[in-house]
Structure 1
Amino acid sequence: MTNSGLETLVAPGAQPDRAGADVFAPVLPVDLRVTGLTKSFSGTPIFKDVSFGLSRGEAVAIVGANGTGKSTLLRCLMGLIPADAGVIDVLGTDVGSARSAQLRSMRAQMGLVSQKHNLVPRLSVLSNVVQGLLGQKPGPRHWSQSFAPAASRQAALDALEKVGLAHLAERRADRLSGGQSQRVAIARALVGKPKILIADEPTASLDPAAGEDVMDVFFDLARREGVTVIFISHNIDHALRYGDRVLGLANGGMPLDARADGLSAEKLRGLYD
């Protein structure tokens, strides 16, 4: 089921003008709204009554100890697993009641970057990025750059240019470093120009230097493209530096939903106690 109208939020930071009248930042669409979300596995509760919303262009970090349901929450948002209760609205789609075709259409507007790069090792870098268009353009023509339409190949090259790897377009994916592989995964996630980017611990498999490089590239591109970002991180510094807001899972719920600029590292460490 889709909504006929888009819910909107006023962007933060509105200031009165000199005459005293309120002057507001642009009204932003709400890309995602979660209300009363509950999930359990085999009778074991994971989280309950989780509610939050994300406006267009926000970057939101999800933090919490292992087992608090961070990845489970992301899978619920994408409609990969059903929730026990609650409502999830993503880009106007009611995830809980949507049919398969509606879910595919919703996911085609989302990009995913995970800690495992999930590249096809024997294919070229360019072919791996072209495959990022399969959600929008399913079929064998987007399995490999050799068969892809010229417009799709150019879109993939443009995405690689944005992450600084256009010169490696013909290299096999299994000949890349870890940091290069994750940059390719970012290009693959961005090639379809998604409205929402989801990143599940995108630097977990990288050394600290490569991780910092990947996060800088990822968020520089996300900001420039105006994409809404949801990312999981166990790195408290990353959560505070790259997130506009931080959502914290603990004790079977979401006790923290706050702007990052008002939080401290000590406050976030308390979620892991």
Structure 2
Amino acid sequence: MAAFNLTTSDTSPFILMGIPGLEAAHIWISIPFSIFYIIGLFGNFMLLFVVGKEQTLHKPMYLLLSMLALTDIGTSTSVLPKALSIFWFNLKGITVGGCLTQMFFLHSVSIIQSAVLVTMAFDRYVAICTPLRYTTILTNARIVKLGLVGLIRDVLFMLPLPLLLSRQPFCDNPIIPHTYCEHMAVVKMSCGDTTVNRMYSLLMAFVVIGLDLILVALSYSLIIRAVLRISSKKSCRKALNTCTAHICVMMTSFTLFFFSTLTHWFGQSITPHVHIILANLFFLIPPRDQPDHLWGQNQRAS
């Protein structure tokens, strides 16, 4: 990864401690982490291969699944290789440039994942509330455009995080009690005034993710209203079943995201190793299900 242009503090590397308090168990912890990572990579690459090769799958629903698979690969690969180097070889050092670069890609891809989940919620709304217009509203070209808009939005919002931190003076040999460079953990390593960094981070967490949650909630409130108007219980149940997996995915993703973010602010009583393990699982466990379970058949959903 290319590093940002930094001050002379770049000569003093950060120290990533891994999971404080569980150093003796690092090797054992690396086993399930590696298994999750391998399974996630295999499943996501298989999905991308199948969707890319099979012409009949070149549809909006599978394009969205492919986007979600790419974000899964990006987030887990941003975290696990460095974590495993700590667990296996005790390579805890990382330059300031490398740390800020990891932080930028990690948070950017995570926010892109949130945008994809919002688009999926919109897909469910169109499929259930206006099924006859589904193919005209959600075309492949429109899905790609929505993906590009989400990418541009997230890069513009996340780029100030490392840029603001690159202007901060860091203490000598700052020790980060984590397996990766999380924004608030890096902010705490600064010896300067980090008020702007903290406020911007909290603002982005609630504005970007909060806005996405509002859009998802709006989509599903309209879906529920439409489903309740269906006279047939069988059709009603079928419509709800097409959304169940997606709801579970969003609840898991957004809950762990807010847990990880807010713990750095208000979670002093939470045991550090519990926070770190859950934060890593947020990036390692793929937030998706198989296409048939997640989507169902659009034309028959209602």
Identify the TM-score tier after normalising by the shorter chain.
under 0.3
Structure in which a larger fraction of residues adopt helix: 2
Structure with bigger RCO (C-alpha 8 Å, 6+ apart) = 2
Structure in which a larger fraction of residues adopt strand: 1
With the length of structure 2 as denominator, give the TM-score of the two structures.
Answer: 0.23
With the length of structure 1 as denominator, give the TM-score of the two structures.
Answer: 0.25
